[in-house]
Structure 1
Amino acid sequence: MYRLIATDLDGTLLDPDRNISKANAESIKKAMSRGMHFVIATGRPIEGILHIAGQLDLVRPGQYAIGFNGAVVYELNPLRQICSCSITGAQVKEMAVMAEKLKVNYHAFSTTRGLLASKPNQWTDVEMTLNKIGCTWIDFSTIPDDEEFQKFMFCGSAEEVQGIMDDVAVYRNDFTVTRSAFCFLEVLNKQANKGNGLKLLCETIGIDKSETVSFGDELNDISMIEYAGLGVAMANAVPEVKKAADLITESNTEDGLAKVLDRIIAVQS
């Protein structure tokens, strides 16, 4: 019996235009009407989660979300953090120096100040547009060492991000390093990943991992694909996600999430 469904957004629940299809929306509402929790698990901040959750009528008591790739777990109504983990301003400043050395753009999410960037650039514009948020432009050398951050992001074209993977690998021993989109390479607290966020949520609300299903398509989804009782990769997923999954469904343009969810609902009805 599955009681909790967790899904990534871009490339999984959302179509290429970042819309929710009618089939996906209807299947999610059916699942919720049968008492299932539906959890958005994403790299986005809460602002980028709430406008999607609102479309699905998820902003209600007993519904949850995983943000910042597992750095924060939220209850949606009343809106509150269930758990969180962060990196320090001192660490962010060091990463900014690395980004400057590598000649790529960067930005970071402060727990108190929101999105911060050193200068306007097209990739921070993507972040702002995607999540419907603003940005504060600052000199990163002025960040207090003890300021808390959810994550730091190296940004660039697909080729630029691929080109810095080996350089940024030096952070893997002490941090979670994950590629969340073609233009973003993220560095987070070592404990921050979608799988751990899902685990903490399940422990908090009393759901066994065997009762969970997760859907994803990108590298940052692998940990929750592996944690869930049933891990589902989209047909459009990267090879590493497909390898980790128990099942591969149709793509995000073919209502792959709805097709699996409908089968689960039919079996459990």
Structure 2
Amino acid sequence: MKLIGLDIDGTLITSKKQISPKTKDTLIRAMKQGHKVVIVTGRPTPGARELAEILEFEKYGGLLSTYNGGAITDCKTHKTLTSHPMDVDLAREIVKFSKNLDLEIILPYENTIYTRYENKYPKGEATMLKMDYKIVENLEDIIDFAPNKILFAQDPDRIEEPSQKLKEKFGDVTEQVKSARFYYEVMPKGPSKGKSLLEIADIFGIDQKDIIAFGDEMNDETMIKIAGVGVAMGNAVEGIKQIADYITLSNDEDGIAYYLEKFIL
């Protein structure tokens, strides 16, 4: 049995934001043959459920690792297997600190995305993930919940300086990663995409050498490194290609299906 971990954007879905018929059929065939398929994403759990439905995870026992490894959900039993939320006081402190930074905040919790002001990034994220969207100007004042992550967004030419300030202030007590040219994610210390795959492997009795991980961005680094085989998409950033064991075709060329058919199925 193989444990197959799949990033979403730039990996599982095409540049048109769809799962191709060939990739869908290949992944379902893999599950029918007894392999475990896991969507491993920075997205909130509600934002990954539609893709899980397309891949028939409930029927075939697929899993979701969301919030960059912050929570693991078994789609067949609808049970949360693990959850690693951020400390409430720390989350409040980060949100308060970010108020004076040149960043848009995207705070997902349950089925809602909270933000301070109406902006293209939070609104676009809520629309894409089919989540509710709520604007709260004094966001730090309403945080009485423990989020699994806090996402920040800004235009690529403006994101580096303010995100570095977050790193300097909270780098010792959080995990931080740039997940796209315009996204910067802050998570609790400890969880990662890679660690979530190890957790799943332990739960289902799968050897680490039997983990296959597909990714394209630097927030996929941990799972590419821990996998028995780390597979970079043809469209992956150079840093991921350099650490991968194999470079497959791009997400627009059914790179996942190509690898699985060539080596696993």
TM-score class, shorter-chain normalisation, is: over 0.9
Q: CA deviation at 1:61?
A: 6.1
**Aligned counterparts of 2:210 and 2:196: Cα–Cα separation in 1:** 16
> Take 2:28 and 2:214, find their aligned partners in 1: how far apart are those partners?
17
Alpha-carbon distance in structure 2 between the residues aligned to 1:72 and 1:114: 16
TM-score (norm 2): 0.93
Alignment of 1:102-121 (within 5 A): 102-110=101-109, 114-121=112-119
So what's the TM-score if we normalise by structure 1? 0.92
**Residues 44-55 of structure 1: matches in 2 within 5 Å?**
44-55=43-54
What CA distance in whole angstroms lies between the structure 2 residues aligned with 1:80 and 1:126? 29
SS at structure 1 position matched to 2:49:
helix
Deviations 1:29-63 (CA, angstroms, capped at 9, x unpaired): 22112111111001111222110011111123632
Question: Where in structure 2 are there 5+ consecutive unaligned residues?
Answer: none
CA deviation map 1:121-169 (0-9, x unaligned): 111012112211112222223134x521111111111122233342222
- The answer for the alignment partner of 2:19 in structure 1 is 20
User: Contact conserved, 2:102 with 2:154, CA < 8 A, in 1?
Assistant: no
Contact 2:102 2:162 in 1 (8 A): no
Q: Secondary structure at the match of 2:68?
A: helix
Letter in 1 for 2:263: I
Is contact 2:44-2:66 (8 Å) kept? yes
Alignment of 1:34-183 (within 5 A): 34-60=33-59, 62-110=61-109, 114-138=112-136, 139-144=138-143, 147-170=145-168, 171-183=170-182
Indicate conservation of the 8 Å contact 2:216/2:236, yes or no.
yes
Separation in 1, partners of 2:106, 2:244:
31
Given that 1:128 and 1:134 are in contact with CA atoms closer than 8 Å, whether structure 2 keeps it comes out as: yes
AA in 1 matched with 2:83: S
- Secondary structure of 2:191 counterpart: coil
Number of the residue aligned with 1:255: 254
The letter for the 2-side match of 1:245 is: A
Question: What's the counterpart of residue 196 of structure 2?
Answer: 197
2 CA distance for matches of 1:209 and 1:152?
Answer: 29
Conserved 8 A contact 2:31-2:60: no
User: What displacement does 1:110 show?
Assistant: 2.9
Alignment-mate amino acid for residue 234 of structure 2: A
- Structure 1 residues 177-186 or 6-15, which shifts more? 177-186
Percent identity between the two aligned chains: 29
Cα gap change, 1:127 to 1:163, in 2 (>3 Å): same
| Letter of the structure 2 residue corresponding to residue 199 of structure 1 | L
Match of 1:228 in 2: 227
Contact 1:61 1:75 in 2 (8 A): no
The Cα RMSD (Å) is 1.6
Deviation at 1:248, TM superposition (A): 0.8
